[in-house]
Amino acid sequence: MVAYPAKVEREGEAVMLTLPDVPEFVLVARGPDEALERAPALLYNILDAYRARRLSLPRASRIRGAPLITPKRDCMALAD
């Protein structure tokens, strides 16, 4: 399964997680643990939309030291 490297940035007390290879992916959370917990479900939903539109999935780049996000079907992770 493909894993995408993540970029984690502090925004005041919040954390913004982005995936350079998937421009639609932007997640804001209360901290890095929450962001990394919610990221797989969001990535799954975005990639599912790519598939529904019959678009090629983005290639995952290699960024040394970056956390890797693997898509996971888990809609409850997005519920708040």
Q: Report the number of secondary-structure helices (H) and strands (E) in the chain.
A: 1, 5
Q: What pLDDT, in 10s, does the model give residues 21-55?
A: 999 999 999 999 999 999 999 999 999 999 999 99
The one-character DSSP state at 31 is S
Residues counted in the chain: 80
Within 10 Å of residue 61's Cβ, how many Cβ atoms?
Answer: 11
pTM of the model: 0.86
**Alpha helices (H) in the chain, listed in sequence order:** 32-52
Amino acid in the structure at residue 64 = R
